[in-house]
């Protein structure tokens, strides 16, 4: 059984991380924004609650999503979205860390990442 208050706190932290990073990407006028980053962090958190193997499978799914994003970007305007792609992957990993019970590391990393992006 999962304690509901602990899970609610993890959901809030994961969504907060995704929203913080997503807002910065929205302000930078990128294709991927607040909703995608928030959902990616939430996906990482929820998948880590299932099993570590499931978290790895969802990370592969995010990598496929990143590949499709970059393929579309290359075909559309011959540019790569490398920074946004890496940030999406890092956001997923930060969500996994939140799911494993880490709070300081993912929150501090999200703040530093957002500062680097701005």
Determine the pLDDT at residue 86. 93
Determine the pLDDT at residue 72. 86
| Residue-range definition of the domain harbouring residue 44 | 4-117
Determine the pLDDT at residue 87. 94
* CA angle, 51 then 103 then 33, to 5°: 80
Determine the pLDDT at residue 1. 67
pLDDT averaged per 10 residues, the chain (length 118): 87 96 87 90 96 95 91 84 90 96 95 93
The DSSP letter of residue 81 is: -
CA–CA distance from 53 to each of 5, 17, 78, 117 (Å)? Answer: 25, 23, 35, 30
103 three-class SS? coil
Overall domain count for the chain: 1
Determine the pLDDT at residue 30. 76
* CB within 8 Å of 112: residues ≥ 6 apart: none
Residue 78 to residue 75: CA distance in whole angstroms? 6
Q: Nearest CA to 91 among 28, 25, 27?
A: 25
Q: The pTM is what? A: 0.90
Residue 71 to residue 73: CA distance in whole angstroms? 5
118 three-class SS? coil
Residue 13 to residue 91: CA distance in whole angstroms? 12
């Amino acid at each position: 059984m999962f304690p509901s208050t602990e899970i609610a706190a993890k959901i809030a932290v994961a969504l907060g991380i995704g929203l913080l990073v997503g807002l910065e990407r929205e302000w930078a006028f990128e294709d991927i924004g607040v909703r995608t980053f928030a959902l990616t962090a939430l996906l990482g958190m929820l998948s880590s609650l299932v099993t570590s193997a499931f978290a790895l499978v969802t990370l592969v799914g995010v990598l496929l999503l990143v590949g499709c994003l970059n393929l579309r970007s290359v075909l559309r305007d011959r540019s790569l979205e490398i920074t946004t792609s890496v940030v999406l992957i890092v956001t997923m990993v930060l969500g996994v860390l939140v799911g494993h019970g880490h709070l300081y590391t993912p929150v501090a990393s999200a703040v530093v990442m957002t500062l680097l992006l701005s």
